[in-house]
Amino acid sequence: MASFRIQSANAFEFGFVVPGQTVEEAEIGVKDHAQDLLQVKDLLEKESWREAQKALRLNSALLKKDMYTIIQSKPGSERPQLRELYSTLFNNVSRLDYAARDKDGPQIWQCYENIVLAVNDILSRI
């Protein structure tokens, strides 16, 4: 008879936070990584799709960790708005990644504009 090991999902994923990172450090990181993420525009304009995807993945991974730290530090009433912005931002990052892979110009620029709007909204709230 086979036995299965079942693990329950935890509400807090420690892999998303940098151990010992302060909220202030995360806020600085968000600002820096958000600007780096927006600089992918130069690569998109040059149609350097592979390089754009690499930069997008690197900067979004760093931004995710910092954003998660900030969201966890906020009072419960502020978290839903930040989670929604987080979701909007990173869904568009994923869509942009796929659009760059497919060289879909209109979709690339639509996603990029959505990323700009989300980043600006996030920066205004932290």
Q: What is the pLDDT of residue 18?
A: 57
Query: Where are the domains positioned within the chain?
Result: 22-125
**pTM, whole model, 2 decimals?**
0.81
In the CATH scheme, what architecture does the domain 22-125 have? Up-down Bundle (1.20)
Phi and psi at residue 107, in whole multiples of 5°? -65, -40
pLDDT at 19: 63
pLDDT of residue 11: 40
- Residue-wise pLDDT for 1-50, tens only, equals 444 443 433 343 444 555 678 999 999 999 999 999 999 999 999 999 99
- Asked if residue 67 has pLDDT above 60, the reply is yes
Could you tell me which of 68, 79, 60, 81 has the C-alpha nearest to residue 27? Answer: 68
Cα–Cα dist 86/119, whole Å: 9
